[in-house]
Structure 1
Amino acid sequence: MDSLTHAALGACLGELVLSRKLGKRALLYGAVAQNLPDMDVVAALWLPTSENLLVHRGFTHSFFFGLLLAVLLTLLASKWHRKGQVRWQQFFLFFVVQLFAHDLLDTCNAYGTGLLEPFSHQRFSFHLLYVADPFFTIWPVAALIALLVLRNTLPVRNRWALVGLLPAGLYLLYAVVNKSVIREGIEASLAKKQLPHTSLMVTPTPFNNWLWYAVAATDAGYYVGHRSVFSPDDYVTDFRFFPKNEKLLTSAVSPEEVQELKRFAAGYYTAERWNDTLVFNVLRYGQILGWQNPYARFTFHYFLSPAGVDNTLVMQRGRVKGWSRETLQHMYRAIFGVREERHRAEPQAQ
């Protein structure tokens, strides 16, 4: 998730656990601790982009690192508060909860989180939330603003902390239900269209949890489509096929770079040529305005050759490219359009 969401959630947790003894400093401790796993972003200063993609949300997002960091933070916090305001056991539990909450929340979006590093390189990604979802973030941010304004002595502060946490938790459960509905609808559509597949991935489109992007993998390529949680049960999702083009990757300048990207892609990738440029697409992050143009390029596109092409902003360059008022109108129609059209047609059918 984004840093603002982590900070706001951390502050709300800080209010509930430490505010009686530390006052508003508990908000600061929580906001900072909740963001510490993202210290791995500094690796981008010296690592090649393909390596940095795997370092981010790797070891610093593991449970093992969380325990080590919690011990260090507990020692530091106990030293700063020598008067015994907070027992070290309480500090340790506080930091463990903050760090583990960050790690687990990051598993809810598409990037992939190395919870078991360094003992296993498996990445966990449950595809429940887009990396920045305002409908999830608004609750903890509103609560944080209230907690910064309200005096420490007011008993209503705990209620505001719960306002920041409980609705966000309910929204996460709502996302679980939505994913189940979408997956069932996509599977039914694939069956009706007689499109065999070896695996299926569904993930939310940007900034919402109602319109989802689906990728059904085959040996030769992928069927890609979008579906709304409001689509009727009998609605058949439309798909476009994108060939994998594995053979194109043999012409890449660096085979090591290709292997790192394949690992990052977790089985969902294609290769293609844009004029003289060899491009590696990771399909897990959706298409650029794919609900508007079903043949749109993929959000994550990495330039393999010619050598020296800049890939520094590969995670960001396609996320909001081309967005406009028309984009939002197309998204609205993709979310609600099928149901609205069905509703308008029903009286005529009678």
Structure 2
Amino acid sequence: MDSLTQACLGGALGGAILGRRLGRKSILLGAVTATLPDLDSFIDYGSAVADYTYHRSVTHSLFALSLLAGMFTLVCARLPAARKVPTRQWLCFWWLCLITHPLLDAFTTYGTQLLWPITSPPVAWKTIFIIDPLYTLPMLLGLVVALIKGTQGRAVIIGLAISTAYLGFSIAAKSMVMAQVSPALVQRGLDDRPVMIQPTPLNTLVWRVTVIDDDRQLEALVSIFDDRDTLAFDSFQRPMAFRDLMIDSWAGQRLGWFSAPFWRSEVRDGTLVVTDLRMGQPGAYFFAFVIAERDDSGQWHSVTSRPADIARPDIGLLPALLKRITNPDALCPSDFGDRDRLLPDAECRPQI
């Protein structure tokens, strides 16, 4: 999640746990503590793919953060000014403020390595967009009230409860969409294909459904208010140029572990570009990387990965996205872009 949301969550937890003993200081301390795991954003790991895939690793590990919480607790136990708070309460404060950061991140699409150093695939439950005002605002309002009035945790607890309930709703909403999509996939013979369901920007009412079918990428927008028979996929080409070169390179292997099979590779101006299809929308993906180049003799060589050019999302489509909540015809995946890759079997925007 974004830094403001993480700070709000930490501040709310701090106020709830230590508000009676530390007052407003507990909110500020909790907010700062909850943002510590994202300091890895400032670490240079040596290449664009390394920076991308090592983010949310050691600093987001449940094991590493639990150890850090224990160290902070030991320090507080030795500080005279901190001894008015029981050690057990300090441990609860540090541990919850730190551990909830990666757990909340795991509800997004990016991928969080909760079990580092165990090399299991990143955890991504994909139930909430990385920025969602309906999750953040209740906590933020509770913190503002507490900082102004000093209500010793009551306001922040109410805000935290509302936000947590909304997070629970996001899980239920995804389950509703899965129930809509599954029969349609069976009907189309796609039930054994990789499927990704995630919320669209800033809401949990309209969801993006992505199906990988070999060299095709099927995309649909589904509202929790849709009827089951309204599901319509737009079908896009999914190039996988120089698959062997991509997979044999370190960057390709790392991206494969991190995001496959929701990726594609293509040649752009003598470079091999790999795009992560999970973040963004067709035609406007947030992460793409150059991992190989063709030399003057026509031979391909792996290179130190770097960011590739990407298309910016069209924020002018946000009103149409809101209309899509109740109107299935208001927006299609191809409206975001990638129309040059659109295949004739597109259902939401049929080709004439």
Answer yes or no: same fold by TM over 0.5: yes
Partner of 2:268: 274
CA distance in 1, matches of 2:153, 2:117: 38
Provide the identity percentage.
27
Partner of 1:203: 198
CA distance in 2, matches of 1:119, 1:333: 43
Label 1:279 to 1:162 Cα distance change in 2 as closer, same or farther (>3 A). same
Whether 1:336 and 2:326 are equivalent positions in the alignment is yes
Alignment of 1:169-188 (within 5 A): 169-188=164-183
Whether 1:323 and 2:314 are equivalent positions in the alignment is yes
Partner of 1:256: 250
Alignment of 1:59-78 (within 5 A): 59-78=58-77
Partner of 2:9: 9
Instruction: Give the one of 292, 300, 304 matched to 2:291.
Output: 304
State the AA in 2 paired with 1:335. Answer: I
Alignment of 1:17-96 (within 5 A): 17-44=17-44, 46-82=45-81, 84-96=83-95
Question: After alignment, is 119-128 or 251-260 more displaced?
Answer: 251-260
Q: Deviations over 1:80-114 (max 9, x none)?
A: 44462112221112111111111211110011111
Q: Greater relative contact order (Cα 8 A, min sep 6): structure 1 or 2? A: 2
Label 1:51 to 1:125 Cα distance change in 2 as closer, same or farther (>3 A). same
SS at match of 2:276: strand
CA distance in 1, matches of 2:119, 2:271: 35
1:117, distance to aligned residue in structure 2 (A): 1.1
Are the counterparts in 1 of residues 49 and 306 from structure 2 also a CA contact under 8 Å? no
CA root-mean-square deviation: 2.6
State the AA in 2 paired with 1:38. Answer: D
Are the counterparts in 2 of residues 224 and 242 from structure 1 also a CA contact under 8 Å? no
1:234, distance to aligned residue in structure 2 (A): 2.3
State the AA in 2 paired with 1:262. Answer: G
Structure 1 spans left out of the alignment, 5+ residues = 291-295, 341-350
Are the counterparts in 2 of residues 253 and 304 from structure 1 also a CA contact under 8 Å? no
Q: TM-score, normalization: structure 1? A: 0.83
Are the counterparts in 1 of residues 247 and 253 from structure 2 also a CA contact under 8 Å? no
Label 1:147 to 1:179 Cα distance change in 2 as closer, same or farther (>3 A). same
Structure 2 spans left out of the alignment, 5+ residues = 294-302, 331-352
1:275, distance to aligned residue in structure 2 (A): 4.3
- Structure 1 segments, 4+ long, off by >6 Å, are none
Partner of 2:209: 214
Are the counterparts in 2 of residues 114 and 124 from structure 1 also a CA contact under 8 Å? yes
Label 1:339 to 1:309 Cα distance change in 2 as closer, same or farther (>3 A). closer
Are the counterparts in 2 of residues 14 and 30 from structure 1 also a CA contact under 8 Å? yes
Label 1:238 to 1:19 Cα distance change in 2 as closer, same or farther (>3 A). same
Are the counterparts in 2 of residues 213 and 286 from structure 1 also a CA contact under 8 Å? no
Q: TM-score, normalization: structure 2? A: 0.83
Are the counterparts in 2 of residues 203 and 212 from structure 1 also a CA contact under 8 Å? yes
Counting matched residue pairs gives 322
Question: After alignment, is 132-141 or 184-193 more displaced?
Answer: 184-193
CA distance in 1, matches of 2:280, 2:253: 21
